[in-house]
Amino acid sequence: MSASEQEILEGLAEIINEETGLDPAEVAAEKSFTDDLDIDSLSMMTIVVNAEERFGVRIPDDEVKNLTTVGDAVKFIQSQQG
């Protein structure tokens, strides 16, 4: 079963909160992981692994660099859910 964009966004917000302590309310689709949320590459890798487990998707390393905003990640995860 695929999750809605809202469900994915909320899930990512929880994952980001666990990894960085950032308020989930700060995590919005238009926010940039690096510029707005100040997430470094190490934290990003942890977030990716946790998102893969949570949503049952594969996010290849060469795809991660294209996911600059939270919205990019949401759309990619949704596209991978079949």
Render each residue's pLDDT in the chain as its tens digit; 82 residues. Answer: 578 999 999 999 999 999 999 999 999 999 999 999 999 999 999 999 999 999 999 999 999 999 999 999 999 999 999 7
**CA atoms within 13 Å, Cβ hemisphere of 37:** 29
Residues in the chain: 82
Q: Which residue's structure tokens are 């689709």?
A: 29
Burial of residue 46, with CB atoms counted within 10 A of its CB: 0-12 exposed, 13-18 middle, 19 or more buried = middle
User: What pLDDT shows up at residue 1?
Assistant: 59
- Alpha-carbon distance of 50 to 45, in angstroms, equals 9
Catalytic residues: 40
pTM of the model: 0.93
User: What pLDDT shows up at residue 3?
Assistant: 87
DSSP state of 35: T
What domains lie within the chain, and their CATH numbers?
Answer: 5-80 (1.10.1200.10)
